[in-house]
Structure 1
Amino acid sequence: MDDDITVTADGIDTYHLVKEAGRYREVNRTAGVSTTDLVGRMLLLTREHFKRGDKEYTVALEHSSNLGTDSTARSPYTGCSQFLPTTQKIIQFSSGLSPKPTDKVVYVAGAFDLFHVGHLDFLEAAHAHGDFLIVGLHTDLEVNRYKGSNYPIMNLHERVLSVLACKYVHEVVIGAPYSVTAELMDHFRVEVVCHGLTPIALDADGSDPYKVPKQRGCFKVLNSGNSMTTEDIVQRIIRHRLEFEERNTRKEKKEIAQMKSTQKEHIKQNGNCEYKAYSG
């Protein structure tokens, strides 16, 4: 299990039985945004998580969650998001591999927002058409241009890490151009360009973003057999808005209470150890 505090809305430790049996192990999770934060972005239609222009690859530390200095003691799991130190994290997730001269390189592009099973099935289908799969990820502003509303729900950094975690993906192009250009295809030696069954929005100038791969005869439309979309997930969350709000409010209060209790116990134990060391 990761180190996220897991309690039910009633404050019960989800893994208490496993812990009592001595079979619980904990590992540190990747610092970043929580599920609760993503739900909040959907419900509140916020855009503060977007990265803009030259800020696309910077880390806004002043907005990071920090329980030690936050006087309101908000839970880091259900409170504000933590911005990701991209360079370090991307290296950890990237395969670090380059295509071999004999590899058939496949390229796909999109937002890949709220990475879900529909994306997974599509990437598996795309990977089957070659040996090395590259995913182009559009910037937040580009995604917002063709999707509108407050999309993307996850910013570029978060989407990069989500896609790199997929076993079918070998590498990503961060901030890929919306139109698949000849320069991009030649640079990465792309032999196949794939797209799913979702509608293809035109580029800002009204052109077909897949004109070049179509002219080269290497464009494929794939049916992954999974019709789930990011919009489906967002609409599902919105339909259950009140239920989620009530649950998250209760959960956050319980998490804060448990963290304070854990901190007090830690101080108590350390205090006892220090006293014994001094008296001994």
Structure 2
Amino acid sequence: GFTEDEVRDICDRYGRDFSQVERWYDGYMLGDCHVYNPRAVVNYMLQGDLKSYWSETGSYDVIVPLINLDFDGLKTAIIQMLSGGEIKVNTGSFMNDTVSFKNKDDVLTYLVHLGYLGFDQKKSCAFIPNEEIRQELTTAVESTRWKELITFENESLFLLDATLDMENDIVAKMIGQIHDEYASGIQYNNENSLSSVLTIAYLGAMNYYFKPVRELPTGRGFADFVYIPKPEFAIDYPAMVVELKWNKTAKTAINQIREKQYMKSIEQYTGNILLVGISYDKKTKKHQCIIEEYMKK
């Protein structure tokens, strides 16, 4: 594969936007080194089309039966990764063959070997490395006609619409509903678990937004989630800065976004920006949401 420095040089030579190439074709890691799919990079340089070139080389027919295997937690894990999240994977039980799958970890490990998932060795986490692969996996999942996914996508799109319409109570209710119906295996005990559920809940946003950026350095701190719209949707869809609070109020989350100026570093990417504060109260077992609009000066 190409290294990041090599891709930067190629982009300069062909006059292409490196940040776009990074979103679409980066994501694989060898130690601390970013590795890019060379076929995709070369095709983009020559053709100028940001699209998936993976299907010409990938083992598409292999993954459809894999993701249909009825292992506990597999479908939830795939939905979470499609939404931009990471999944802990135990790679030790994989027997290095294509028959002896015993659990979801074996399936996910094989998908890492095929290149459909990236793997962070330090965290032992699998993830979808870039937009190219996310589109390929989405197509594979949709071809299986999962009833669960079709229903869930509709609910997730409803949640996104409610967020964009700044319907605080509906958003809070929907996040709780999605946790109960699709992510009940994720035990609520801290902000990390809340962030995992939120990642799943906003799967529908992936049609219009890039993979959410976690812990983006912004202003005077790190925002929990930042959703930046894809260029073709930037006029109609605002960026979203999301802050989560565990056992605190949503107002506390909004205040933190404003006080630490989390929105400053993304002003150049978008039009308007929504500030979204989401909290969970472990006593009442209820979510709370406050959404405010930030108008650029």
Which is greater in Rg? 1
Q: TM-score, normalised by structure 1?
A: 0.30
Q: State TM-score, norm by structure 2.
A: 0.29
Which of structures 1 and 2 has the larger relative contact order (alpha carbons within 8 angstroms, sep 6+)? 1
